[in-house]
Every structure is written in structure tokens, then in C-alpha cells.
Amino acid sequence: MEFKKEIIINKQIEAVWEILGNQFGDVYKWASGLNHSKAFSPPVINGAPSNNRSCELPSGKIKEVIRKFDPSNYVLEYEVIEGFPFFVDTAINNWQLTKISSEGTKVNMHLIVKTKGLIGSVMNPMMKMQLKKQLIHIPNDLKYYVETGNPSQNKAKELEQLSTKVA
């Protein structure tokens, strides 16, 4: 299954890359659906902030590894390597930034998830529906965070709910 999202962010490409690429481990600060995230392991790819990150979701934890980190072309690609159900073969997300003006950046997100086996075939439609629901907010969350420095309304609501659970 494939998911493609495109959005225009009214900020310089370097500002978008700083949040998306250089602050790879801090995605929880702006992305809906993540309770927490943390970068770990020294970078394998030259220039990358780390090699991996762990993400805590309401449904559990996942680990991701950076597959491509290209600051000169503004490309970030990572793969979920742990935490998805056994019937998920691969889940690779690719982000590409394109400068459209001095204060404008086009952001393309392309996620490919492949399932395996009979159970994967059966679960595919439900998983697609669940991922589609989760991914609907993420590009807008990034846009809002980069443009304002604050979490989106959706993410702020999640953060508030998390703080009341902790308290």
C-alpha cells in the first residue's frame, strides 16, 4: 500500500530541513500520533543526526532506521525495523523537500508499506484504513510547527491528554 502527501510550507527550505532532517529524533514535538521519540545510535550515514529513533505511539513502540539522509538534496528516508505486526514485511517513508521560492518549500511524503502472507492479505485493508487516518495530520502538523514554532491544534490536544494521564 502506498500513501503520498504533498504540502507547501511558507518557510525557507533550510528551516523545514532543520525540523524534519536535523531534528529527526524529536519528531514527537510536532507529529500527531506520537507520544514520544528519541534518536539513538551513532550515525552510519555521514551528516545524519543519528542512525535510529524509537517512537512511542499510543498502540506501542516502533524503531526506525535512517536509510537515506541527504541534506544537499533535502531527502530523508527511514524504515520501520521493529514494532509493526509480524505480517508487515517493510514500511519505508521517504520525504523530499523542494525549494519553490525564497520563503516557500514543497514537501513530498511517500510511504510504502508491504505486508506478507495470508494474514497480511487479510489485514491489509484494515491496516490501510488505520494508517490513512493517522497520516492525514502529519504533513499539516509539520507545516504548522515549522511556520509557527508551536504544535498544531491536533498535536496540542494530544499533548494535553498525555499530560493529564501523567499527572
Coil, strand or helix at 12: coil
Q: Categorise residue 12: left if φ over 0, alpha if ψ from -120 to 50, beta otherwise.
A: beta
Q: pTM for the full model?
A: 0.92
Domain region containing 48: 2-156
Span 1-49, pLDDT tens digits: 999 999 999 999 999 999 999 999 999 999 999 999 999 999 999 999 9
Alpha helical stretches, state H, 38-152 = 117-135, 138-148
Span 44-70, pLDDT tens digits: 999 999 999 999 988 899 999 999 999
CATH number at residue 150: 3.30.530.20
Virtual torsion, Cα 32, 36, 42, 46, nearest 10 deg: 10
Residue 127 · residue 91 · CB < 8 Å:
no
What is the domain count for the chain? 1
Q: Is residue 163 part of a domain?
A: no
